[in-house]
Every structure is written in C-alpha cells, then in structure tokens.
Chains A and B, each alone.
Chain A
C-alpha cells in the first residue's frame, strides 16, 4: 500500500464543473503539498498545508489531520486546468516529500 493515495486516478469534467480530488496518507506529516504538472514535466506548487484550509483564486485545499485526508477543489473548471494534480506529504520524521501517483484531470470545453 502506498503511503500517499489519490483518487480518482483520472477525471474528465465539462467546463464549469466543480472538481474534487482526494488524497489520503498513512504517515504522520508536518505538511502536505498540492502540485500541478503540465505535459512536458514542469511541476508548480499550488498549496502547502499543515492544517485547515487555503484558497487561491478558483482553487481551494483542505486538510483534516485527524483523518489523514486532504482535498483539492477547483471551482468553475476551465480547459486550462487540465493537468496532473499531485499530492505530496512531508513526514514528521524527515524532510523528503512522498508523492501520490497523481490525478490526470481533463476539462472539456
């Protein structure tokens, strides 16, 4: 079992839909990251969370430390949101990031 599991693996949505991507982890963490990866490989950091909720534009990230679960929401989705979204955790025992396998999001016009 992976330490970080994401669902769904693939998600197709119509433009304008509300999107949720989930991340569950099994280790103690000091922080959780949500990352976006476009074709070509570059990774962009969207959020770093240790508790509660953060919002940036149409993106919202939440984390429940007790349940070891985080969600990334995209409101009013747009085709340019199409990318792979990756959840990564920093364990309390170290500084490396452990990544989920990513969620491929496709938003159709």
Chain B
C-alpha cells in the first residue's frame, strides 16, 4: 500500500499523559499536513511541512502540541499533558507541492 499511513489508528489515554502519533506520507510528496477533526465538524488545519521545514502553524496548536518531520519523510505529532478537549480525529495528508491532497485513515484520540 503506497498511500498515507497513520499509526496508531486509535489511542485511549488518561488525562495528563503524553501521546505521539506518526504519519508516513506518500514517498515522493514534499508537503505534509496535520488536521484535527471533532465529531460532526470538518477538519481544521493544525500545521504543515514542506520537506523538513515546518512552514505554518495554526493558533489551534497550543504549546502542548509539537510536530516534527526530521528527515522530510515521516512526521510525528506529540501532545503533552493531554486534556479531554484534545479528544478528536487527527488526520495527516500529503501532497506534491499544491497538487491533490491524499489523506491517511486518521488517528482517533480519546482522552479519559
């Protein structure tokens, strides 16, 4: 499968714990995006990378959130000291420059 891959698919964590999600984009895609989607809403932009450079961050991305794409390939999104309001689907997408975006299956986070 050469699509966008996200891991894990589901994560249940206790409030206050740290979690890390991984996204493997389509291999030749230079742009990688993270979005967050809460129930009944459309996805909201969190951040994006062009190669290894993080070019834009949403104000939704508080200090507890950090994203990396160290070698310009896979990316990780870490949430520290999780809160119940962080419960959402975290979606990763990749594209070749401003071409069509391809999405992963998402990581569903539940903070209890």
Contacts and interface: CB of A to CB of B under 8 A. Distances in A.
Interface of A: 4, 30-31, 33, 35, 40-45, 48, 86, 88, 90, 94-102
22 contacts: A33-B100, A33-B101, A40-B105, A41-B106, A41-B108, A42-B104, A45-B100, A45-B101, A48-B101, A88-B43, A90-B98, A95-B31, A95-B48, A96-B33, A96-B48, A97-B35, A97-B93, A97-B101, A98-B45, A99-B43, A100-B42, A101-B41
Contacts, number: 62
Interface of B: 31, 33, 35, 37, 40-45, 48, 55-56, 89, 91, 93, 98-106, 108
A19 to B, nearest CB: 19
B33 A101 contact: no
A97 to B, nearest CB: 6
Nearest to A101: B42
B48 A42 contact: no
A33 B101 CA distance: 9
Contacts of B45: 96-98
A43 B104 CA distance: 7
A44 B98 CA distance: 17
A23 B4 CA distance: 26
B91 A43 contact: yes
Contacts of A48: 99-101
A4 to B, nearest CB: 8
B105 A42 contact: yes
Nearest to B102: A45
Given A31-B98, A33-B101, A42-B103, 9 more contacts: A35-B103, A41-B91, A43-B93, A48-B100, A86-B43, A96-B45, A101-B40, A101-B42, A102-B42
Contacts of A42: 103-106
A77 to B, nearest CB: 22
Contacts of A100: 42
Which 8 interchain pairs have the tightest Cβ spacing?
A99-B42, A43-B103, A41-B106, A42-B105, A96-B45, A48-B100, A101-B42, A41-B89
